[in-house]
Every structure is written in C-alpha cells, then in structure tokens.
Structure 1
C-alpha cells in the first residue's frame, strides 16, 4: 500500500477526532503530505468514521488526481491542496466542525487570547472570510488567515488547523475547540478580557514553536 504509514496516521487522527466529538456524522476531513514525493493522503468522502480504515484513505497528487485508493477523496480536497501548494512548511491539515469553535465561526467572530494556551496556536484565532465549501477559494481564504496562526475559523463553516504532521494539526484543532468552549463558559459569567498583545507576543515567541 502506497504511503502506508501516512495513511495510518490520517485515519487514526480522523477516527480519534470523531470519537472525541470534534466532528459528527461524516463531516470534517484530514490529510497529510509526504515530504519525499509530495503526494497527499486524504480522508474519503462520505464514509462513516466508525468504518474507516487506512485502506480507505486516498492518495492524490497536488493536482488532485487520484494516485491510489478506491474511494472519492474528501469534497474539501481543493482547500487542502491550496494550503499545501502555498505553505511548503505544512505537512498535515485537520478540518473540523467542532461545536463551540464553529459557533464563533457562524458569528464570524475571532477567538481572542483569553487563555495562555493560545500561545501554542498564535496570538489569536482569526476568521477567514466565507467561501463556498468544496472550492479552492476556501483554501485561499484559509491561507491568508493562517499567516497569523496555526489555526483559523472558516466563516459559517468550521475550523482548519495546520501542522508539521497531521497529528500536530489535530492537536491544534482540539485545543481551539477547548479554548472556544472555555471562552463560551466564561462569557456566561462575565466579560472575558483578552491577554494584552505584548504579553501574547512574548508567549508566542517562547512557546509557539512547540
């Protein structure tokens, strides 16, 4: 099986995210890029996560042509490919519809730095402008927002996170949801005040590479 290890990593990240509630049904998608060949392993379209195995992960090239796999790649493949083409440092992508972060995305409201853990993502989680799902324009909007952080909210859509590996991207996506949840709870009790910009910038310099 071509890119066997990478396909196992993508499958594991997707299934684990489903089990932890970052996605429901067949929503969301994951991918990883092989640094040697440039080929991309991506989750298939419309397959329930409880049935997904590494054999179901599709291998494509950067033009989106299927190289190996018997299933259709994710409908959001164009977004993944735009990010990979524009960001050679990215080796993995996680796209989730986690509820608290997506609620902010529906409001087109960024996630401010109210927790020190934000430094692992950036100084904030910005919002990418709305683009029609399944189009390269989603990727273009995400790339611009991801210049500021390791994750962004896709307006009225969900979350996209990037990393050196698909595991790293998935951990970041989970952290964004956790911070969004805490932000929501704090907002019920009062008005969460963001950490000052100069403090966040120092924290990002110290912890942002982790």
Structure 2
C-alpha cells in the first residue's frame, strides 16, 4: 500500500523506488522486482519479499519465481545497520525534490499551519548527499548515511531522497512533506519571490497535534486517495 501511495503522489513514477521494513535483527521486508514488474503503482503482496541484510532470502522460497532485491538494497540495509531507531526506509525519486535541490533551493521551514509536521522536519535541516550515484554497495551507502547523520530524511543530489522512520507510514509521510516543500519552493522562485523561513515566534505557536492526527489520520487520507484513483 505504501508503494502505491508513493506512486499516487508522484514520488515514484514508473518502476523506480522501493520501501523496506525491519522485522528482526537480521531480516527485513522489501519491495522487490519480479519477471512481471509493472511499477510501484501496481505493487501487490507478492512483490514484498523477506531477505537478510546481505540480500539473501531470509526464508525458503522468498526469492523464487524470478524475484530480485533492488540494486540499491545497501541503501536500506546500511541505514538499518547504523540506525537502531529506524525500522522503515523509503527511497523515492521525486522530480520536484531533485529539481529544487539542483536549483539551489533548500528544503526550508517556510510554511506554517499549511504543513506543521513538514515545517518541523525542515526546521531541523534536510541534509544532502552530494553524489548522483546508484547506491549499490555498502561503501556508497555508508557515505549516504554519514551525510544523513541522525536526521529523518536525506536528499540524494540528481537522484531522489531517502526517508527513515519507526514506521512505514511515517517514512512515507515525511517524503510527501519534503516533496510538498520542494514544489512550493520552485513555485515561489518561479514567481520571482524569495524563500523565507517562518519566524521563530510563529514556529513557537505551532502545536503538536500528535501522532494520532499527524500520522494515523494523514495515512488514512493517503489510502483513501488510492481508492479514488481506481
């Protein structure tokens, strides 16, 4: 469902992008590609496979039928190895995020009640991994995680983003917020405006609406939107 949400939001058009979920110390569920790959918008349960941190089947038959782990599996597993606070990792290719970064427009806390979780996320800083490479091995993944630090999201220059959280839902919603801020930045710049951070006095007035609203309600909305697209 999360893969479909990414596609519906335009963060993972086509066949690129993947999501993982840690289920034990050495095993994760990850969106794989099979011989009948159709893209993230058409992900079903059969596309989700259980593997270990080295990309091997974590149970008999998990990679049967022509299924293969993503080339960038190390992007997921290195985050999980180095960040015990993380259980879910999203990797997506949002065009507006890539464009805003290449244009020198950082992801800034420039809105208020428009997107409170997104504003708080941006206020903490969104780091950038400055290499536009396929993160296909542990060495490159380690560079990305180093750039990410302890932050929830890192931009990958000329590539996309990686979002990490305690749940799949939160990791996806973080990616959506970053994409929304990137779109707004591009729109402001194209209109000749100047990006300005929200004043500290306004930041202090933004309430924490809690996980039940920020995550649970927001996620129900994303799932409901999928039904409207059918």
Q: Could you tell me the TM-score, scaled by structure 1's length?
A: 0.80
Answering whether residue 59 of structure 2 is matched by residue 69 of structure 1, we say no
- Per-residue CA distance 1:51-97 (angstroms, 9 max, x = gap): 42112212111222122233101111011111100001101011111
Q: Could you tell me the TM-score, scaled by structure 2's length?
A: 0.74
Structure number with larger C-alpha Rg: 2
Alignment partner for residue 141 of structure 2, among 139, 142, 161? Answer: 139
Contact 2:163/2:171, CA 8 A, preserved across alignment = yes
Write the distance in 1 (CA, Å) between the matches of 2:205 and 2:72. Answer: 33
3-state SS of 1:101 partner: helix
Q: 1:80 to 1:25 in 2, by over 3 A?
A: same
Task: Report the aligned-residue RMSD.
Answer: 2.7
Write the distance in 2 (CA, Å) between the matches of 1:147 and 1:105. Answer: 18
Structure 1: which 5+ residue stretches go unaligned?
Answer: 1-11
Write the distance in 2 (CA, Å) between the matches of 1:87 and 1:199. Answer: 33
Answering whether residue 172 of structure 2 is matched by residue 170 of structure 1, we say yes
Write the distance in 1 (CA, Å) between the matches of 2:14 and 2:85. Answer: 31
Structure 1 stretches (4+) deviating beyond 6 angstroms? 198-204
Q: 1:164 to 1:112 in 2, by over 3 A?
A: same
Structure 2: which 5+ residue stretches go unaligned?
Answer: 113-117, 212-230
User: 1:201, CA displacement in angstroms?
Assistant: 8.9
Aligned to 1:191: 194
3-state SS of 1:31 partner: strand
